[in-house]
Amino acid sequence: MAVMESYTSLEVASVYLNERRGKMRNYGVVDVFCGVGGASLGFKLAGFRVLGAVDIDPVACKTYACNLALEPLCGDLRQLSYREILEHFDLSREDVTVLVGCPPCQTFSSLRRTRPWRGDLPKDELLVTFLRLICEGLPGVVVFENVHGIATSDGGRYLKYYLEEMRNLGYSTVLSDVNAADHGVPQFRKRVVAFSVLGVEANELVIPEATHAAPAKAQESGKLPWTTVREAISDLPPLEPGEEHPSVPKIYFQ
């Protein structure tokens, strides 16, 4: 996931933990299907401690390590247990407050034709793998993010399956179909975000309201207009490929 994709997920988790437990503490996060570290970076910038990450792609893991200064466990999550992940990073269950994951979404993406549903389980075993890890670890908070297609493929059965399994495990979930642009990110990207907390009532969970809107609707809705890419990075100096600038941080957003 790119950094911009994960903004809404980290915002949801940040708001809930701040409201429920007061001042932000250093809550521990483990990021599975971590990719290059977008979600992890977002949580880190929001004040969380990223304690572990897992991905199968060695190139993504190398990039993640550069972005987060944390070496991910490079492996197939289908073959790893929650206990093995904790042991790899020398963690206990109590260290981990948040498990965040975005199982690869090719089978739900609008860019790829989705095959018909077969059997009682989703065809994408990575969604089942994510649920297995949750079942094994039962972290207090789970943040799940995926493409909009997971809510529409085969009548939404993939998402319904996930939500039902989370209920069976004792989680309450608030679900939102969000657009990153509506939260100040200079990118039009729709995502389904499910924010689940163990052992609380669903009415205790709140998804942050959008702060931005399309320019034509912003004024009448009392929101800010969408942030453009020009507004976000137009003050950056021009650079040649591979060139760096001593006064520009590697992580930048004005």
Question: Structural domains in the chain?
Answer: 4-210 (3.40.50.150), 211-254 (no CATH)
In the residue annotation, 135 being an active-site residue is answered as no
Distance CA 146, CA 86 (A): 24
Please report which confidence band the pLDDT of residue 64 belongs to, taking 50, 70 and 90 as the band edges.
Answer: very high
Q: Which of 34, 66, 105, 135 is catalytic?
A: 105
Instruction: Please tell me which residue, 84 or 107, carries the higher pLDDT value.
Output: 84
| Long-range CB contacts for residues 127-132, cutoff 8 Å, separation at least 24 | 127/103, 127/158, 127/161, 127/162, 129/77, 129/78, 129/103, 130/32, 130/33, 130/77, 130/101, 130/103, 131/162, 131/165, 131/166
The residues near 6 (Cβ < 8 Å, ≥ 6 apart) are 38, 39, 41, 42, 102, 145
Whether residue 148 has pLDDT greater than 90: no
pLDDT digits (tens, 9 = 90+) for 22-53: 444 579 999 999 999 999 998 998 899 999 99
Please determine, for residue 105, whether its predicted confidence score (pLDDT) is greater than 60: yes
Task: Tell me the whole-structure pTM to 2 decimals.
Answer: 0.80
Summarize the confidence of residues 59-78 as an average pLDDT. Answer: 95
